[in-house]
Structure 1
Amino acid sequence: MTVVDYQQLAHQYSAAAATNAHDLRLQRFIDITELDDKACDAWVGRMSCGDHDRVTIFRAWNSRYNFGSLSSAAELAVAKLNAQVSIGCGYVNGFTIPVRTATQLCIAYALDLATEGNFDDALDVLTEVPADGTGTWARACVYSLGERWDEVNKTVNSFTWDEHPANRIFIPCADLLRGIASAHMGLWKEAERRLTRANENPAINQHIAHTVAWYMAMIYRATDREADAVNQLEFLQAYYPEDKVTKALNDPSIRLDVTSREEIAARTDAWDADSAPEAPAAEGDERKQALADAQASLDETIGLTGVKQQVAELWATAEMTAVRGQMGKKTSTKTLHSIFAGPPGTKKTSIAHVIKDILFGLGLIKKRHLQYALGKDLIGTHIGQTAPKTNALIDSALDGILFIDEAYSIIQGSREASVFGLEAIDTLVARMENDRDRLVVIIAGYPGDLERFLKANDGLRGRFSERIEFEGYNPDEIVDIAKLIAKNSDSKLDPDAANELWGAATFLANTTIGGKRGLDVANNGRYSRNIVESAEKIRDKRLNDFRKTQPPGTALSDELVETITADDMRLAIERVKNNVVGAQASPAEQGAAAIVMSEQQRAAICARLAAYGCQQPELALQEALGAGGFELV
């Protein structure tokens, strides 16, 4: 190209840059690139018009060594074109950077390569990009798109994210990627912490809402908080609908793909998750940690003395079987399938996780994984759906534990259950036999409901060697659980508030609702949680109203902010009680229920109230029982 030709091209570039009409502006830049496919600035001009075709991005990158040449000849600056390239990679909507140098073209092309699965090429392109905030983000995105989750965290952690204006936007983005990577490695608490922190940034939370909601849904599902998972999925279905969301809503067995550093390192192709051989059973520290976690969970569990004793016996039997084997003694192979019978809110799911950690820690299962499902999740709605659905759920639990809550709902409670429930049970029984070396099943529910379930198939009852009975909590335990829940959220119950709760719990413990103990209907431990959460809201409203009456800058004491008072508790009890007893007549309407108590019993209860710090235990006893609808005689 002659000097004259180049000057003519510069003139055309100047005219294109000065054109405001979008289509004409784009066409003028296209005309330049057709005359000279190395005219980098014209390719950038096309990008400024919204042309982000893969060929356009490649051509702009391929001619990057000419960046600024044409604009200089036209006495202009490329930056004035206001071209933007997207770097959100699907994680952050609307996340763009302006094209001011060839570096941004390298980033744009590398991320385009990564979205097409050309990860090594993408990293090669990024060797020209400095390891600043943008460059580090781009590299981390390549690893994330390639499911190299260990490298995502390594890359993000390699850069010091500070409050410099150039890096500020990347701080929540870095937390977002850390959360995603941690989730895919099964580090649920860390993933939740990182995603929550990223979402707290008002400058970006609207742009990452879809990503945060999806991963939080998967985290909730993996940690047995299905109701919370559904809330997130319904939010996505309303505002960010896509096929994976619909499928996840319809099928609770859909979970996040989880791997480990060892499995990633074992891949024959670093970028192909399916190329990893079957991961060997983890050894050493991981198993020791599982046993330590199991013991810690048992130590933290309030009440359930009988349950903890049975778990300890199971643990001891497993350990002694290994000892007997090492001594050359005869050992018997025992099935590990179990029945957890008891009312809701008695930590059946939590104890199942303890069993999982024990079995994994002792090497009796390969994976530290518990697949949670409701009984109704095993049945389909049409002929031919049930067996595949049940098999898919079982497949997701192989080498770990399948925990089926409300197992009776497989055969009762819906039209589908009555039609397809027996097929699901037959499939389950067959798999328990065929995969007996890879599958542990725990079923849970009310004792009576479980009995009906076990009678549905002649071979079902004999598959379960262990049965653990979960008793409902007593009023003292309800108070202790509430105190622990409050403590974990930097709250506390004052003695009178504890007394109020004890009285309400005593009322429920001695009340029958629908043929069941009132505390069981109230979901036992979940009753404590609901009460505390309601009381915290009432307290916060009270304190906020008080704060607004004070002079600006008045500080509230820790004691004031943390304490749940008796008045807060009374209101909370009434609110939660309405959800428990529904439209049933109140104790006042029914006439107060009478409690007959000996002097010794009365003295023992007053002593307990005094231990809670109550100054007038006799009066507190009368008022607490009165609040619950009782009359002491």
Structure 2
Amino acid sequence: MQSAEAARQALTRGLLASGVSVNNMMPSNNPEVAAKSFRIATDTDPSMCDAWLARIHAGDDSAKTLAGACEARATFGWEFQRLGILQSSFCPMVFDGLFVSQEITSRDSLLTAYATALAREGRYADANEVLDELSPTDPFDADLHTYAQGVLHFQAKRWPDVLRFFTVDKVWRKPVYGAAAAAMASTALASLGVFEDAYRRAQTAIDNELVPHAATIALYTQAMCLRHLGKHDDAAQLLRRVYARDPKFAPARQAQDDKDRRLTITNPETIEARTDPWDPNTEPTPETEQADQQAELLAEAEAELDRQIGLVEVKRQVHKLRATVKVNKVREERGLPLIIRSHHMAFTGPPGTGKTTIARVVANIYCGLGILPTPKVVEAKRADFVAGYLGQTAEKTDKKIDEALGGVLFIDEAYALIQEGLSGGDAFGKEAVDTLLARMENDRHRLMVIIAGYDDEIDRFLASNEGLGSRVTRRLRFGSYNPTELGEIAASIAAQKESTIDPAASELLEQVCAKLAEHQVETTDSNGQPGKPRRVLDVAGNGRFIRNVIEESFDEQMLRIAEELDTGEVDNTTMTTITERDIGPALRTVLATAVPGAVDLDSVIPTTA
């Protein structure tokens, strides 16, 4: 009881020394005595909240002092009420570190002020924890709470959250909060690259001049927005205006001295990717993001390569290619002569052997190693290049190449670009190839062209123009799949639908594939002329043929199971198993479409199937 009385006496002495009249006693103005008296009061009775508030009023608004006040908040206002001190004559305030001082008029506003002090000291997570636990019901306290949340996120450069708290339609009961909020919101918008909206939002802080520093920041933001928008003269005029307002405002001076200075632009995804949500320095930099993306692309390429069935020699060549490109890049960085200068290549082999898939693997590798800007693959054929009139073909070809810039242009059946046997030659195809050659050279640093097709047809195509052979110097040869590999591919496709192929069906499929590999069929080349005989399995499409067979087998399976459901129960094993009864009809249907008349189906597929 004696300590409480001693604390009250110390509080009274401090208030009088602060210029506050107590019990009609004449006040003085001695800040040093006031501060000392208030410290004695809190040391004597830490539960006296008003003594802590008095310390804050005297200028001690540290987070430590505010923590003491919060711990004693149960006695908030008791002593001031006992002494008859009105809020109008004694109102503690805490500076937010940026724009305004926040009044402490209630327990909720005290807790908000504590969070503000924590944020001012860089303890953002602690401040956020305090604010998250608060739900003020008083309208003025609610405004202060919202403002403090916005300031916290502004200090931590969490721009989307700043805009979440400082909405454009928010009506503030204290206009100074609105002016400061407008300045912070404009900075947030500009930092997210929304320059026009940022410029407009800043005007609110400038027009009313309620918070001078907020107006200064808003003007600076407008100037930098204009610079980003290319309006350099207008930006320079505003920067001079900012400097005239506040010569000590460093960003404006720096922007005037450095015409290339720009705002740091980020995005919500980068902010959310921070390892510490409150530390902007933990955001991934463009360099680290690029490195992560490249590593991911290389991993994807390796995983996709591993998933491929067969293709042993192709995989070895791709690994050699990756090693060559990697070492070649290091040689370039060290000023050594390059081993390879052209990245264009040819993929040769029959259809359905994975050329398009491997093209995507190669695109990922080249992008992952930093050779190409993107891993995109644009597929094209003759129709994508050749137009109906001379002169239009070059334009059409350029347009298709532009679509692939930064990645890979994959031209399947490339030999079809030059058609032989036409009266006067293929002027349209020649125009397309000439345009392609020029772009392959001029855009070699941001474009890879992969031509694909049968070996002999690609040989003919390269021989048709000497420039092609000198630019396409690397070749990956894709062999046909053997029956066992095709069986594995079929099982893999079925597994994607959580299904299996029973042993008898798998054996039938492999037997048919072996017979198709033994048979040959006459073909026509890209010019419509008789071509060399090719294996029926190659003409049918190898892996593509197998995919079509399995898809057709599922249709046959559904028909079979539907009939069985009409007569009884069907278990899950039956529902998810492709049988010989499904594969046989599917083979007949697909072969009749893919290679009509090429083989006697009854001699290739047992009639019992």
Q: TM-score, normalised by structure 1?
A: 0.48
Q: TM-score, normalised by structure 2?
A: 0.50
Structure with max Cα Rg: 2
